[in-house]
Amino acid sequence: MNILVINVGSTSTRLALFKNLDCSFEENVPYQGSEPLVQQLQNRKEGVTEVLNRRNVNIQELNIIVSRGGLMKPLPAGIYEINEKMCEDVLSGRYGVHPSGLGPPIALEFAKTLGIKAITVDPPSSDEFQELARISGIPEIERRSALHMLSQKAAVRLAAEKIGIRYEDGDFIVAHLGGGITIGAHLGGKVVDGTDGLSEGALTPERAGALPTLDLVDLCHKMDAEKLRKRLVGAGGLCAYLGVKDAKEVESRIINGDRKAKLVYEAMAYQISKEVGSMATVLGGKVNAIVLTGALSNSKMLVEWIKERVKFIAPVLIVPENEMLALAQGAFRVLRGEVVPKKYE
């Protein structure tokens, strides 16, 4: 069974072809444009077509196409068949704007031509929050589910398998550590609470995370809205303090005796650990494992700092991130008839 995987990001489109769950190839298609999503669509699709032609992929042999999801209507996590309504929502920006929203329309266009299904797995706007988690501090703002759902769900399923239980039968805390950082409380197979990857939680390589609210109000009077938004998401965190987003560069500075770099990098681990502890209270202290995934879970320095602070809660497991495989696994379950895709409406 042949599975085409599409994962659109801000600076590239990742493509992979799987035969069952064996990857035949994976390739990044760089993209430098910054136009509105709809204007990027044709160029992005042409990039996909170029790779398929160059790789001599016979698209008539594809059995299913799976795309990373975009920002769409908040619905429970799972596998959804891509339809026109979903594409309309992700391209309109009705629920937020993110380049990943280009994946579903590209997948659907290919699928319609071939007469096969196009699906998405655990889209980023998936919402399984319990009602208690939605309350903020003022009625005008409701907390929402906005975390690395695909990455977290894929990692925790592997972790559950490692310790010999079903994901749905355990309680886990999952930390996705990358350019964005999100911490989720997984209770019986659902993410009942978690940090917003853009506006809550720990500082990240490029995001400010949670901030003192009244001080932030004061800052609003000193910067225009767009400049402040970029400062918070894109030029915050390690970038704001140290001028770099690359964790390897920060670690190199630490090894060479840079005390400020050590302070800020360790502060990131400290804040991540606090959020893990917070999610432990959501689960009533009953935690089967703490799962670390994402690119920064490869940082031994960062991981050791986190482990030292949270290991009293539960065993800490490191699960390498592989979004392309996670998407292919979802498609494979559909092809084998184990899952019937949900309807997006």
* pLDDT above 80: residue 11: no
Does the structure show a pLDDT above 90 at 38?
Answer: no
* Cβ atoms of 29 and 13 closer than 8 Å: yes
Query: Over the chain, what is the mean pLDDT?
Result: 95
What is the C-alpha to C-alpha distance for residues 78 and 61, in angstroms, rounded to an integer?
26
| Separation of alpha carbons 334 and 78, rounded Å | 11
The predicted structure's pLDDT at residue 302? 98
Topology of domain 131-314, CATH: Nucleotidyltransferase; domain 5 (3.30.420)
**What gap in Å lies between CA 41 and CA 151, rounded to an integer?**
25
pLDDT digit string (tens) for 128-170?
999 999 999 999 999 999 899 999 999 999 999 999 999 999 9
Cα Rg of the chain, angstroms: 20
Measure the CA–CA gap between 95 and 75, rounded to whole angstroms: 12
How would you classify the pairing of strands 12-19 and 2-8?
A: antiparallel
Domains 2-126+324-343 and 131-314 in one fold: yes
Q: What percent of the chain has a predicted confidence (pLDDT) above 90?
A: 88
| 3 backbone dihedrals φ, ψ, rounded to 5° | -125, 125
Over the stretch 281-314, which tens digit does the pLDDT of each residue have? 999 999 999 999 999 999 999 999 999 999 999 9
List Cβ neighbours of 70 (8 Å cut-off, separation of 6 or more): 89, 90, 98, 100, 101, 102, 103, 104, 123, 124, 125
Beta bridge partners of 118: 65
Domain residue ranges of the chain, discontinuous segments joined by +: 2-126+324-343, 131-314
Q: Which among 208, 294, 199, 296 is positioned nearest to 250, based on CA atoms?
A: 296
What kind of fold does domain 2-126+324-343 have according to CATH?
Nucleotidyltransferase; domain 5 (3.30.420)
Structure confidence by residue, pLDDT tens digits, 110-123: 999 999 999 999 99
pLDDT over threshold 90, residue 245: yes
